[in-house]
């Protein structure tokens, strides 16, 4: 069984708190950015689509990282849950823009989903790096 020292556990908990904060900040920034009237024009803009893509990629990464650092190694069901929750939030975000005079754009939602999938894949690939970065100082100080 793998034993983790108290200092490493504390570093992981501290990192989890930071990432949870980043996740909440990301959600708040995304909601405000899409629900304040007139910030982005309703016409097709590749810059707007890339903003959707990267915002949802970062959101998925933050949720996965905070969940894993808080609860331990994630399983495929966790990845599916994050995909589903972010996809539903993306649809909710688009639909709730109508009351504030913005457009509900299915292409934006498609870019949201592509960003989510990229975030899931990046987390799966870079997961070991997450722990290396968090635990680096503890390992170097030995």
Cβ atoms within 10 Å, residue 117:
16
Backbone Cα Rg of the chain: 17
Domain count within the chain: 1
- pLDDT given for residue 123 in this prediction: 96
Q: Are 113 and 90 in contact (CB under 8 A)?
A: yes
Whether 122 is in a domain gets the answer yes
What are the C-alpha distances in Å from 97 to residues 24, 45, 88?
A: 20, 17, 14
Whether 2 is in a domain gets the answer no
- pLDDT given for residue 60 in this prediction: 97
Whether 40 is in a domain gets the answer no
pTM here? 0.83
- pLDDT given for residue 12 in this prediction: 87
Domain residues for 125? 9-35+45-136
The CA distance from 30 to 56, in Å, is 9
pLDDT tens digits, the chain, 142 residues: what are they?
455 677 888 888 898 899 999 999 999 999 888 887 665 555 557 788 899 999 999 999 999 999 999 998 999 999 999 999 999 999 999 999 888 888 888 999 999 999 999 999 999 999 988 888 888 754 444 4
Whether 3 is in a domain gets the answer no
- pLDDT given for residue 65 in this prediction: 94
């Amino acid at each position: 069984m793998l034993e983790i020292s108290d200092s490493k556990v504390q570093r992981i908990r501290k990192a989890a708190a930071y990432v949870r904060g980043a996740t909440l900040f990301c959600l708040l920034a995304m909601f405000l950015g899409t629900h304040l009237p007139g910030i982005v024009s309703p016409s097709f803009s590749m810059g707007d689509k890339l903003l959707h893509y990267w915002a949802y990629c970062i959101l998925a990464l933050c949720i996965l990282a905070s969940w894993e650092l808080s609860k331990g190694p994630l399983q495929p069901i966790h990845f599916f849950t994050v995909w589903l929750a972010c996809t539903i939030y993306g649809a909710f975000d688009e639909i709730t823009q109508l009351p504030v005079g913005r457009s509900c754009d299915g292409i934006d939602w498609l870019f949201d989903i592509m960003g989510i999938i990229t975030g899931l894949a990046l987390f799966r690939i870079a997961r070991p790096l997450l722990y290396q970065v968090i635990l680096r100082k503890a390992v170097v100080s030995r």
